[in-house]
A and B are shown apart, each in its own frame.
Chain A
Amino acid sequence: MAAVTGTMTEQILSEKAGESVTSGDVTVVDVDKALLQDGTGPLTVRQLRDIDLEQCAIPDGTVVFLDHQAPPMNDRMANEHALLREFVDEVGAQLSDVGDGICHQVMNYDYTAPGDVLVGADSHTVTGGALGAFATGMGSTDVGIGLALGETWMKVPPVDRFRIEGAFSPGVYAKDLILRIIGDVGADGENYRAMEFVGPTAEAMRIDERMTVANMVVEAGAKAGLFPSDETTKEFLESRERVEDWQPIEPDPDAEYDREYEYDVSDLEPQVAYPHQVDNVVSVTHDRVQDVPIHQAFLGSCTNARYEDLQIAAEIIASHDYEVHPDTRLIVNPASREVYERAMADGLMETFSKAGAAINTAGCGICYGGHQGALADGENAIGANNRNFKGRFGNPKADVYLGSPATVAASAIRGEIADPRAVIEA
């Protein structure tokens, strides 16, 4: 067994390579978990069939998600779903069906374990880093080969340390922190690199908050973004009735980081990313985002549609007499069926419905722009999701802004981009 030293990235990849590896090494690693979704999985199946390799070395850890087209928009997509169901039956993999939820949500809550190598045919697979897994997004063919053979090749990335301290002010959240980091390092600032989040504030974050941060590391180009696996992780896995999946993961005290960043969140303000780049990040008080009318507000996505996110938004909306601005449409897609049911039982869905929201199936929703909720020409939207590239939300002639669930709720109430701190106090 390889020595357990170095960064979390090096520790996990060494363990899975069966040899001690360090940044820059190219190695073949065992794959523990794999995920496919309905936008990328069909190509995986076709590629594997092409070379007569329709098989799965890790069927218990391979999950196929029908989440981007939930439910399918037309016969073409229904047939893609049928292909994926057939594949699941053929190789014995796991199916997460229409309405069950977004791949990264369900994967983290029910499958991913600390220390895993997880490869997914979806760029936001990096969300798995919240549990101390080395989780990375790849293309359909790479993931197909990974799940068929149970291994993949990797270049061990340089690792950067992000030490986070300080307490978030009211109205400021983990989403604002990761937006700020992306704004600072740039959309390719962490390209080919891994990010590791440590320090008192990282330790104090709940798993849902860690997921929000890890989810967006790919918007800085990163290959992975890891949090330590600690007592919080253990309690989370206990609550998921799979504490046996827990193991501690933390950087070795002598770990060598390529670059080291320090963040104190005490003075952080709510952040907004403006079109059409995720690294166009400013404070919500900045001139660039004043007087921006909002036609559609989106509470959803693998970044921010967990119970805790919906709760934050619902409280703000309820405290304003359930009144969303008449010129603003509010769209809600819970991250999973479980989130949906809990939000229903606790009255959050009633709050959203009273406010006139369209509540949709648990799934990816409008985020990527190919399923429901497209914008009209010239419209503006704000979303709790992770991307604002031209064409997201289905229309290259529209503008998408990004913020926290609180900023989205505040903006829905005001009908323009709004500071949640002002709305909470009002």
Chain B
Amino acid sequence: MSDEDPAANVERGKAIDRDLSNLDGSAWDVGDGVSTDLIAPGRYFDLRSDLDRLAEHTLEDADLVTTDDRFMEAMEPGDFVVAGENFGQGSSREHAPAIIERVGVSAVIAESVARIFYRNAVNVGLPIVTCDTSGISEGDDLHVDLIEGVVENRTTGETIRVDPLPDVMMTILQDGGLKAHVAANDGLELE
């Protein structure tokens, strides 16, 4: 059961520890063309200085399929965001993937992802994969192994293979994000 309290979900989400080969949760379907404005609305611009507070509004302007509730009222930390084409289009605001990571979303699974968002997601340590999402419906129970590159839909029994992350991005993700990568290597070490 969801907590239905965005602030409580942020607190619980921050405590989530992701095992990249063993992620379990339910799917929330946000559809095609979700812009960073829908993820981190501009009207909360001044909350960017406090990511916990901004995170209470994660995906606030995106519509879900099965409920009129806002994402942060409906979600459970550990759940997945499932999207169609061009997820994360628009602004370069890194706050958008950062708050999705912060609220404990296990991974974003999208048909396709806009360029800046994809890079930002990896930089902030948010697992993000692209694959055919047409076989996933909102509420489906998913088991994901990102190391093997497999999404198992336990509701339908279908197994979906995900597109491999480019080597350079897998290196950064496994180091825990760009900041951790640079700190550990004293610079960029991507060869």
A residues with CB within 8 A of B? 26, 28, 39-40, 42-43, 47, 50-53, 68-69, 73-74, 76-77, 79-80, 120-123, 125, 137-142, 145, 149, 151-153, 155, 187-188, 191-192, 218, 221, 223, 277, 368-371, 374, 387, 389-392, 394-396
B142 to chain A, nearest CB (A): 24
Residue of B nearest to A28 (CB): B188
Contacts of A192 in B (CB 8 A): 115
Main secondary structure of the interface of A (DSSP, over half): loop
B92 x A137 contact (CB < 8 A): yes
Distance in angstroms between the alpha carbons of A140 and B177 in the assembled complex: 13
| Given A51-B182, A374-B43, A395-B43: A141 touches B188 (CB 8 Å cut-off) | no
Main secondary structure of the interface of B (DSSP, over half): helix
A142 x B42 contact (CB < 8 A): no
A223 x B115 contact (CB < 8 A): yes
Name 30 interchain pairs, CB-CB below 8 A, sorted by A: A26-B190, A40-B92, A43-B98, A69-B46, A74-B46, A76-B47, A80-B46, A123-B90, A123-B116, A125-B92, A137-B92, A139-B120, A139-B123, A141-B179, A142-B120, A145-B178, A145-B179, A145-B182, A188-B112, A191-B114, A221-B115, A370-B43, A370-B45, A371-B45, A387-B90, A389-B35, A389-B38, A391-B41, A392-B37, A395-B43
Q: Would you call B151 an interface residue if the criterion is a C-beta within 8 Å of the partner chain's C-beta atoms?
A: no
Q: Would you call B174 an interface residue if the criterion is a C-beta within 8 Å of the partner chain's C-beta atoms?
A: no
Contacts of A389 in B (CB 8 A): 35, 37-38, 90
Contacts of A155 in B (CB 8 A): 166, 168
Distance in angstroms between the alpha carbons of A223 and B115 in the assembled complex: 7
**Which residue, A149, A152, A371, A392, has most C-beta atoms of chain B within 10 A?**
A392
A187 x B86 contact (CB < 8 A): yes
Q: Would you call B52 an interface residue if the criterion is a C-beta within 8 Å of the partner chain's C-beta atoms?
A: no
Contacts of B167 in A (CB 8 A): 26
Distance in angstroms between the alpha carbons of A236 and B115 in the assembled complex: 31
Residue of A nearest to B124 (CB): A141
Partner of A390, one of B38, B123, B188: B38
Which residues of B (153-191) have their CB < 8 Å from a CB of A? 166-168, 177-180, 182-183, 187-188, 190
Residue of A nearest to B121 (CB): A139
Contacts of B89 in A (CB 8 A): 187-188, 221
Contacts of A152 in B (CB 8 A): 188
Distance in angstroms between the alpha carbons of A39 and B50 in the assembled complex: 12
